[in-house]
Amino acid sequence: MIKRFALLQTFVAVARAGKMKQAAQDLALTPGAVSQRIRQLEEAAGRRLFTRTSTGVELSAAGEAMFVALAEPFQAIEAVDMELGSPSSHRVTVSTVPSFAAAWLVPRLATFARLCPDIELAVEVGTRPVDLKREPIDLAIRHGLGKYPGLESTWLVAPELIVVASPDLLKHRAPLTRPADCLAFPLLHDLNRQDWPLWFEAHGVTAAHAKKGPAFSESHLIARAAVAGQGLALVRDIYVDDDLRSHRLVKALTANWPLQFAYYAVATAEAMQKPAVRRFRDWLVEEARQEV
């Protein structure tokens, strides 16, 4: 029974992470041990539970059905385990993207620790959107338009992105005067391919092909591709300051930033019933308000 539970626990970890290596880190195992456990579970189930992709693994139809059955029970078990492991503290698990964690959240956490020394934070970063109804995450900080059905979202801050391009790409072309004009050029994306579609939506532009174009895992790589003339980039100015000063890049379009395209604190209604989660959310709002 204990061995079978370990196999199921490993399955849930891999399904959440989408990567064997990440699941191994989460479980404090070697990637080989994780792979072996998944093979054992697939042999017991008599079917494939995952298919390999260029970026990790994806659930098969059988795997998805198993994950649906196991996600909530394991979330409940993990919640009880966390309480048993730290009975005198209040723990809040937060998920966000690496760029926001590094540039905005982490530098401010010392302030939160001083204000709320009894609350223990666990910050997880990644580009994969987490499922707050299935995974043991109390609150996520997401970049978008605030439309998260079935979840509570609170506007935090709307850092402006700018549209930049190589001067050579714009040469002999009509100036860009409105967001829709960007659709005449190749678009450079992050791996989620969400920024451009959401930016167009915020501007009221119908852009069926806004997700097309090359994608990169880091903002500085998007900037390098823009310098090479591969397309338009929608990035924070901090990633392209040097390129703008040296004229390797130019601002291709000047447009008012749509404030609804912002970072939001997102959680389930159940999570927001926890005093520690509410306290952390309220602190995020106060910190963000100081920047306005």
Which residues are registered as beta bridge partners of 52?
Answer: 57
Helices then strands, each counted (H, E), the chain: 11, 12
Closest CA to 182 of 251, 93, 263: 251
Provide the greatest CA pair distance for the chain: 70
**Separation between Cα atoms, residue 154 and residue 235, nearest integer Å:** 23
Q: What is the DSSP string of 170-211?
A: HTTSPPP-SGGGGGGS-EEEETT--HHHHHHHHTT---TTTT
**Separation between Cα atoms, residue 6 and residue 23, nearest integer Å:** 13
Query: For position 88, what pLDDT does the model report?
Result: 36
The answer to whether 93 and 132 have CB atoms below 8 angstroms apart is no
The answer to whether 210 and 179 have CB atoms below 8 angstroms apart is no
Q: What is the DSSP string of 96-148?
A: E-HHHIIIIIGGGHHHHHHH-TTEEEEEEE-SSPP-TTTSS-SEEEEEESS--
**Separation between Cα atoms, residue 81 and residue 103, nearest integer Å:** 32
The answer to whether 27 and 34 have CB atoms below 8 angstroms apart is yes
Q: Which two tokens stand for residue 168?
A: 């050579």
pLDDT 10s digit of each residue in the chain, 292 long? 547 888 999 999 999 989 888 888 878 778 888 899 999 999 999 999 999 888 889 999 999 999 999 988 888 887 776 665 544 347 899 999 888 898 899 999 999 999 999 899 999 988 788 889 888 899 999 999 999 999 999 999 988 889 999 999 999 899 999 999 999 999 999 888 989 999 999 999 998 889 999 999 888 899 999 999 999 999 988 889 899 999 999 999 988 888 889 999 999 998 888 889 999 999 999 999 886 5
pTM above 0.95, yes or no: no
Query: For position 249, what pLDDT does the model report?
Result: 96
Q: What is the separation of C-alpha 8 from the centre of its chain, rounded to a whole number of angstroms?
A: 25
Q: Which two tokens stand for residue 146?
A: 């605030």
Q: How many residues appear in the chain? A: 292
Domains defined along the chain, listed by start: 2-84 (1.10.10.10), 90-150+269-289 (3.40.190.10), 161-253 (3.40.190.10)
**Separation between Cα atoms, residue 244 and residue 250, nearest integer Å:** 6
**Separation between Cα atoms, residue 126 and residue 98, nearest integer Å:** 6
**Separation between Cα atoms, residue 61 and residue 229, nearest integer Å:** 41
CA distances 3 to 17, 39, 84, 184, Å, are 21, 14, 22, 57
Q: Return contacts of 64-69, CB within 8 angstroms, 24+ apart.
A: 66/11, 67/11, 67/12, 67/15, 67/134
Closest CA to 235 of 244, 223, 243, 246: 223
